């Protein structure tokens, strides 16, 4: 059927083709990057098409959800119009003394409904935990009611907050602080989330503080105590549990990476007997359910692949960035005693990042940081505070685009651990001190996330461990990189474990 000469590889055409094609070579830098297992400049997005497809799916899903939401709201509006004719609607009061009535004990349950936001649910479960609330309320001589009492509806709570001036205010006009902290000119709004009565009729209100200038949505949960005064309420205390009670569960940036599985959480809550849409005063069962959820979630699976599982408490790990950083230290063979938080000058951190990683902090990074945890009077930043807040960085001359966030801390033996994050990679850098006071890079570990082919479930996968000179080509643009100056403990990349 075929002429044998057709398949002669050594005919003139074959030789010409080989000659032409044989001279094609990939760029040397690309070849080198592939050998090292690090992304090539401008090609950090391996699996780009996968993410684009995922983005398209997500966009489509969001549209569908919005559409369904609009339809649902429409039905709700229609269905509530009929009873509204028989019940007086909640309207904005013209005279606050007549509009808001203090809470009267009744037999009705439950407390005010919560939004179905897993992060908020988790955080609220912490903030609303009796031991947490009690600690603060005790200082005021108050105690949460153990009897079922009715609380104002969400609409009524909004009116209460509005009457108190908390619907939209600036810090300079903070109703509670009397303008004592005019540190920025942003407008804040408080959104009520949950409400618990005390034995003496006060309302303990958990609310979210919305910052008008926050680029990244940052829901700052606060606790406010409202005391009834005749026919109205007065705010007698305003706590910031975000920083002072429990620490943060997670940063919004991390949340984007470490996605909570909403359905899974809600299912577990439902299994535990807690209706997701209605919260009760968080109890042991709820907390246990949350703990179970966390311990079996993909977060833990993937973290397990990063950290030695025996070194941490699952619950703590998921709930605390500080614990994560502490575990980063332990990953390098440091014991718990060695990971006490040290105090660093932020200029030191900045210098070290610039010198060793070629990264500069965006000016606003420190502004944001100082707003949260810098005391403003000195150059000192408490690292444990840093670790509760990701700090934005801008890409400068590194080809790796480590441009979003970092955590850094120093160990008591003088080593520095920097944790970097961007859309595609989690990078942990261990810096070893030298005699001249500078640092050398001891190790770099790069984790890539879900753009791995084969569509496996794990969010993060250990990909490459690079040490010594291996870093200098692509991971970061380093002026000089020396081999590790200390013998590092062996670092093992663990396989992804199945949920415990």
Partner 1 sequence: MKNLQDDRDSIVAKYSQTVWRLALSRTRSEDAAEEVYQETFMRLFQKERSFDSEEHRKAWLIRTTLICCKRYWSAAFRDETLSLEEVTDIACYPDEDKGVMEVLLRLPAKYRIPLQLYYVEGLEPDECAKVLNIRPVTFRVRISRGKAMLKEKLKGEGIYV
Residues within the interface to partner 1 (CB under 8 A): 1-3, 6-7, 9, 12-14, 16-27, 30-31, 33-35, 37, 39-40, 42-43, 45-50, 52-53, 56, 452-454, 461, 463, 465, 467, 470
Tell me how far apart the 2 most distant CA atoms of the chain are, in Å: 104
**Minimum CB distance to partner 1 smaller for 46 or for 272:** 46
Nearest-approach distance from CB 271 to partner 1, in angstroms? 35
Distance CA 492, CA 36 (A): 17
- CA-wise closest residue to 262 among 244, 242, 277: 277
Distance CA 106, CA 101 (A): 14
The b/e string for 241-257 (b: 16+ C-beta within 10 A; e otherwise) is: bbeebbbbbbbebbeeb
Angle at 412 between CA 406 and CA 413, to 5 degrees: 105
- CA-wise closest residue to 340 among 408, 246, 439, 410: 410
**Minimum CB distance to partner 1 smaller for 362 or for 491:** 491
Nearest-approach distance from CB 69 to partner 1, in angstroms? 26
Nearest-approach distance from CB 51 to partner 1, in angstroms? 10
Match 């303008």 to its residue by tokens: 179
Q: How far is CA 64 from CA 51, 68, 327, 446, in A?
A: 19, 6, 40, 36
Distance CA 153, CA 157 (A): 6
| Contacts of residue 326, Cβ cutoff 8 Å, sequence gap at least 6 | 336, 339
Nearest-approach distance from CB 468 to partner 1, in angstroms? 10
**Minimum CB distance to partner 1 smaller for 37 or for 309:** 37
**Minimum CB distance to partner 1 smaller for 30 or for 140:** 30
Question: At 191, phi and psi to the nearest 5?
Answer: -120, 120
**Minimum CB distance to partner 1 smaller for 26 or for 74:** 26
**Helices (H) then strands (E): counts for the chain:** 17, 14
Please classify residue 83 by burial: count the beta carbons closer than 10 Å to its beta carbon, then call 0-12 exposed, 13-18 middle and 19+ buried. Answer: exposed
Given a contact cutoff of 8 angstroms between Cβ atoms, the answer to whether 283 and 274 are in contact is no
Nearest-approach distance from CB 398 to partner 1, in angstroms? 18
**Minimum CB distance to partner 1 smaller for 19 or for 146:** 19
**Minimum CB distance to partner 1 smaller for 52 or for 101:** 52
**Minimum CB distance to partner 1 smaller for 30 or for 191:** 30
Nearest-approach distance from CB 9 to partner 1, in angstroms? 6
Nearest-approach distance from CB 68 to partner 1, in angstroms? 24
Given a contact cutoff of 8 angstroms between Cβ atoms, the answer to whether 378 and 384 are in contact is no
Nearest-approach distance from CB 500 to partner 1, in angstroms? 24
Nearest-approach distance from CB 343 to partner 1, in angstroms? 36
**Minimum CB distance to partner 1 smaller for 39 or for 298:** 39
| Contacts of residue 182, Cβ cutoff 8 Å, sequence gap at least 6 | 170, 171, 172
Six token digits for residue 73: 């709201």
């Amino acid at each position: 059927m075929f002429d044998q000469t057709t398949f002669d590889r050594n005919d003139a055409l074959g030789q010409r083709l080989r000659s032409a094609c044989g001279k094609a070579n990939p760029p040397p830098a690309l070849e080198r990057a592939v050998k090292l297992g690090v992304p090539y400049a401008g090609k950090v997005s391996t699996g780009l098409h996968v993410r684009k497809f995922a983005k398209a799916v997500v966009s489509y899903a969001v549209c569908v959800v919005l559409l369904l939401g609009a339809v649902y709201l429409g039905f709700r509006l229609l269905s509530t119009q009929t009873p509204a004719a028989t019940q007086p609607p909640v309207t904005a009061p013209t005279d606050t003394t007549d509009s808001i009535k203090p809470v009267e004990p009744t037999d009705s349950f439950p407390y005010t409904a919560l939004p179905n936001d897993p992060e908020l649910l988790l955080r609220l479960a912490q903030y609303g935990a009796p031991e947490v609330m009690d600690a603060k309320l005790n200082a005021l001589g108050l105690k949460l009611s153990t009897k079922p009492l009715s609380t104002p509806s969400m609409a009524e709570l909004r009116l209460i907050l509005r009457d108190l001036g908390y619907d939209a205010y600036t810090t300079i006009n903070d109703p509670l602080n009397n303008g004592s902290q005019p540190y920025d000119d942003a407008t804040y709004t408080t959104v009520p989330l949950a409400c618990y009565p005390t034995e003496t009729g006060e309302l303990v209100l958990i609310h979210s503080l919305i910052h008008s200038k926050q680029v990244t949505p940052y829901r700052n949960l606060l606790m406010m105590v409202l005391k009834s005064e005749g026919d109205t309420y007065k705010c007698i205390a305003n706590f910031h549990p975000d920083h002072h009670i429990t620490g943060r569960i997670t940063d919004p940036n991390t949340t984007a990476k470490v996605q909570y599985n909403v359905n899974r959480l809600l299912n577990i809550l439902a299994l535990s007997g807690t209706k997701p849409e209605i919260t009760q005063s968080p109890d042991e069962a709820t907390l246990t359910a949350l703990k179970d959820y966390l311990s079996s979630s993909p977060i833990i699976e993937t973290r397990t692949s990063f950290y030695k599982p025996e070194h941490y408490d699952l619950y703590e790990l998921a709930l605390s960035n500080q614990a994560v950083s502490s575990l980063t230290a332990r990953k390098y063979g440091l014991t718990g005693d060695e990971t006490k938080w040290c105090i660093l000058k932020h200029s030191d951190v900045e210098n070290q990042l610039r010198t060793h990683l070629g990264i500069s902090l965006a000016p606003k990074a420190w502004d944001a940081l100082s707003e949260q945890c810098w005391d403003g009077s000195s150059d000192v930043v408490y690292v444990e505070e840093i670790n509760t807040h990701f700090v934005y960085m801008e890409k400068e001359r590194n080809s790796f685009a480590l441009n979003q966030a970092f955590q850094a801390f120093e160990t008591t033996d003088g080593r520095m651990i920097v944790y970097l994050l961007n859309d595609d990679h989690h990078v942990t850098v261990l810096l070893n001190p030298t005699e001249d006071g500078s640092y050398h890079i001891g190790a770099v570990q790069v984790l890539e996330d879900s753009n791995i082919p084969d569509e496996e479930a794990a969010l993060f996968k250990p990909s490459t461990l690079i040490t010594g000179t291996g870093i200098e080509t692509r991971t970061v643009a380093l002026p000089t990189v020396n081999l590790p100056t200390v013998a590092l403990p062996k670092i093992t990349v663990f396989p992804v474990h199945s949920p415990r």
